Amino acid sequence: MKPINCIIEEVRSEAPLIRTFRLDRNFDPAPGQYVMVWIRGVDEIPMSFSGPDTITVQSVGEASAALFSLGRGSSVGLRGPLGNGFVLRGKRILLMGGGVGTAPLAFLGEQAKSASMKVASLLGFRCKEDLIFRDRFEALGDTIITTDDGSLGIHGRVASGLKELDLFEYDQIYLCGPEMMMWDIISRTAEHAKKTQACINRYFKCAAGICGSCCLDPDGLRVCVEGPVVMADRLLESEFGRYRRGPTGGKGPCKG
Amino acid sequence: MLSLSIHAGGLQLNNPILLAAGILGTTGASLCRAARAGAGGVVTKSVGSLPREGHPGPTIVHVDGGLLNAMGLPNPSYKDFQDEIDTARKGGVPVIASIFGSFAAEFAQIARSLKADAFELNLSCPHAEKYGSELGRYPDLVESVTGAVKAAADVPVWVKLTPNTADILELGLAAQRGGADAIVAINTLKAMAIDIETGYPILGNRFGGLSGSAIKPVAVRCVYELAGRLEIPVIGVGGVSTWEDAVEMIMAGASAVQVGTALLKGYGVFEEITTGLSRYLERKSLTLEELRGLAGRRRS
């Protein structure tokens, strides 16, 4: 499809470097699906939905900085929704997220709650100021918060909140956040990998499953069309958490 | 099932349906996956002498009957690519390394340094400054680059041509004079698309290359012209997505066929095409050899 022109109807600041953009169109996405956002004259970047008509973006590079310069009434070109999102399963679910990665989980949790599922959340942030969507998660059910600097909740990484939970109580676990945070969780909770859905990130260029830049070793999983939500047991024996390819296709370290 | 194995362009292939350059060819694992899905051979993403990130996005646009792309030759450089080729070879089919450069010695250097089953010279990418068709539209450069790589490489050398020229046959003859083992035709047609809401060209690079069904008739004509005159095999590529398309391409004179944009439908396309081709040959009681160039032999 050609990019669809969308008007930004509202911009909300969620944290110092995180903003939510509400668009003039409901894409009816599944949480975990993404959209390619074309900031004209700059670049096209993948963004996760934080609601049916919202994307929540952290300013990390040139394209997201350009998006931050756009206000209400500005327009962007969008391709999507793309990829495979989260699938709701069971009666009792756990959301585990870090930073801006909590955005699709808030969206997922709201769908789960409307489907009468019981939702609990474990969320990690760098510090109190970086916290986003606290109200949305607390409205869903029990919410545990960790901060790296101890300014709120449990002092430590997301995984330090695991001791407060019994993962056997949950039918399905949903994970989204920085790669090393997700890897930390997945590798510590490997016995639950078969019921853990992780929304992961690779360098997308085409977002159509043909250029090959996002393929995951060792199976060549095309993350842009076969993900970005992948079952964690598939990630345990993959490149995930070990290395990732950048825009040249060369391997580099995982960050975050 | 009828055997589709052939010898083409200096390689023994289980079947004549190959993965085209630039499609799912960045990692050894994805190339391997194409091989296991039934490709008779796989061509890598083009690699050059220095790492390149490629053009800003959008890098693709879907248009009627095809796909427009301007990836911009992203690659980690040949120095960081041998591992991917080695992994790809575990798929059990020939791995053809697509390489690019801006002058003959640069191509030769890459060919000397990489180990692959064959090389495909990218003299045809239509959207990267100083590379691809910017050299490949000049017959003398096609000949000298081909000659330099032939002298440097101990494996077959295929030359991929651009259709963005008045006379593709002239380019094919030049590659043949340079010693090419096969011609690959065609690369994408230079094209563009504009966002009518704002007037911005959609591709980050403004221009790109058109692939997919829309260009198949152009590819069939180019293959027909080349195969009718050249002594070396022609490998047909451009808009092939079904077994019928492959039959048409082989009738035009192609010894083998590459598939690219059709991978949008997934890896199943290889088996669909080879199964259909095999059944067709059985039904017509023809061999691949008899099918090849049939259109050129039909008169009055």
The domain spans of chain A are 4-82, 92-252
Question: pLDDT per residue over A96-145, tens digit each?
Answer: 999 999 999 999 999 999 999 999 999 999 999 999 999 999 999 999 99
State the count of interchain CB pairs (< 8 A) between A and B: 130
Task: Report the pLDDT averaged over residues A157-183.
Answer: 97
Answer yes or no: is B86 within a domain: yes
Give A222's contacts in chain B (Cβ within 8 Å): 24, 30
Q: How far apart are CA B161 and CA B237, in angstroms?
A: 10
Measured between CA atoms, the residue of chain B closest to residue A218 is B29
* Domain ranges, residue B108: 6-297
CA-closest candidate to residue B93, choices B162, B166, B40: B40
CATH number at residue B265: 3.20.20.70
B2 has pLDDT over 80: no
pLDDT at A1: 73
Instruction: Judge if ipTM > 0.85.
Output: yes
Q: Tell me the average pLDDT of chain A.
A: 97
Percent of chain A topping pLDDT 90: 98
Name the E strands within chain B.
Answer: 6-8, 11-13, 17-19, 41-43, 60-63, 66-69, 95-99, 118-122, 157-160, 182-185, 189-191, 208-211, 234-237, 254-259
Predicted model pTM: 0.96
Percent of chain A topping pLDDT 70: 100
Domain count, chain B: 1
Q: What is the DSSP letter of B281?
A: H
Helices B216-229 and B243-252 cross at an angle (nearest 10°) of: 30
- 3-state SS, residue B138: coil
B105 has pLDDT over 90: yes
pLDDT band at A193 (very low <50, low <70, confident <90, very high): very high
Task: Report the pLDDT averaged over residues A18-38.
Answer: 97
Answer yes or no: is B1 within a domain: no
Q: Which one is the CATH code of A4-82: 3.30.1280.10, 3.40.50.1970, 3.30.420.40, 2.40.30.10?
A: 2.40.30.10
pLDDT at A185: 97
A9 interfaces chain B, CB cutoff of 8 Å: no
Task: Report the pLDDT averaged over residues B91-109.
Answer: 97
| Cα distances (Å, whole numbers) of residue B174 to A184, B24, B97, B235 | 57, 30, 21, 16
Tell me which of B130-139, B143-152, B268-277 is least confident: B130-139
A84 has pLDDT over 90: yes
Which residues pair with residue A216 across a beta bridge?
A221
Answer yes or no: is B110 within a domain: yes
- 3-state SS, residue A241: coil
Judge whether B32 counts as a catalytic residue: no
Q: Look at strands A54-58 and A18-23 and give their pairing.
A: antiparallel
Interface touch A210/B23, C-beta < 8 Å: yes
Instruction: Please tell me which of the candidates A3, A220, A245 has its beta carbon nearest to residue B58.
Output: A3
Q: What is the DSSP letter of A220?
A: T
The HSE-up count of residue A33 (CA atoms within 13 Å, CB side) is 18
A209 interfaces chain B, CB cutoff of 8 Å: yes
Interface touch B200/A219, C-beta < 8 Å: no
A77 interfaces chain B, CB cutoff of 8 Å: yes
Give A245's contacts in chain B (Cβ within 8 Å): 26-27
Give B62's contacts in chain A (Cβ within 8 Å): 1-2, 208
Answer yes or no: is B233 within a domain: yes
pLDDT at A88: 98
Q: Say which CATH topology domain A92-252 has.
A: Rossmann fold (3.40.50)
Q: Tell me the average pLDDT of chain B.
A: 97
Helices B82-89 and B28-36 cross at an angle (nearest 10°) of: 20
Residue B241 to chain A, least CA–CA distance (Å): 14
B251 has pLDDT over 70: yes
Give B53's contacts in chain A (Cβ within 8 Å): 246-248
pLDDT band at A256 (very low <50, low <70, confident <90, very high): low
Task: Report the pLDDT averaged over residues A196-203.
Answer: 97
